[in-house]
């Protein structure tokens, strides 16, 4: 049963977070600190004054997560022109995320939320025992407030969807 649930989440083209668990546009994004793929501690305070996209993904090196990461990688210059830093978040350990970064030549950091604390606070998981994160994203502005919420993410088009919303704003 647990394996079937895990496979359903990993292979789903999009996921929907519970609306009551999601932050809303204008809400302050919770403060956080997590290790990146090198084990270096990264925190929201390090990003103060910057706009960043925090994309939660279920599992490194799985088809949907790889497609989503590649899309973001391929559009990284467009994100940089918009002043947006990309940060991925999963429950994978730093070593697994490091292998994912190397395998896919990702030019952005992947963070490990192994305690699931942030994921639970923002609707990417229902509990600290969740096997994987939901595929959701938040665009956080330089003021630390949510600029955009992506509760339903299509891995193949997510990068272009976010860039389109940035162009419209």
For 17, 19, 60, 98, 118, the CA distances from 126, given in Å and listed in that order, are 9, 12, 20, 26, 11
* Catalytic site residue from 47, 54, 60, 65: 65
d(CA 157, CA 119): 22
Q: 20: Cβ–Cβ under 8 A, 6 or more apart, which residues?
A: none
DSSP 75-94: THHHHHHTTEEEEEEESS-H
Please name the residue that has the structure tokens 């994100």.
79
Burial 71-85 (b: 16+ CB within 10 A, else e): bbbebbeebeebebb
Query: Is residue 65 flagged as an active site residue?
Result: yes
**Looking at the annotation, which residues are catalytic?**
65
């Amino acid at each position: 049963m647990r394996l079937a649930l895990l496979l359903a989440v990993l292979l789903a083209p999009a996921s929907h977070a519970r609306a009551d668990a999601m932050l809303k546009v204008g809400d302050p994004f919770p403060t956080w600190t997590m290790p990146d793929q090198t084990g270096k501690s990264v925190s929201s305070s390090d990003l103060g004054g910057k706009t960043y996209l925090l994309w939660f993904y279920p599992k490194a090196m799985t088809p949907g997560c790889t497609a989503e990461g590649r899309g973001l990688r391929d559009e990284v210059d467009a994100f940089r022109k918009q002043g947006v830093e990309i940060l991925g978040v999963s429950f994978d350990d730093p070593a697994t995320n490091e292998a994912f970064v190397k395998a896919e030549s990702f030019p952005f950091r992947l963070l490990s939320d192994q305690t699931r604390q942030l994921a639970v606070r923002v609707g990417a998981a229902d509990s600290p025992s969740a096997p994987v994160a939901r595929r959701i994203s938040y665009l956080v502005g330089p003021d630390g407030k949510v600029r955009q919420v992506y509760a339903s993410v299509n891995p193949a088009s997510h990068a272009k969807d976010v860039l389109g919303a940035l162009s419209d704003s």
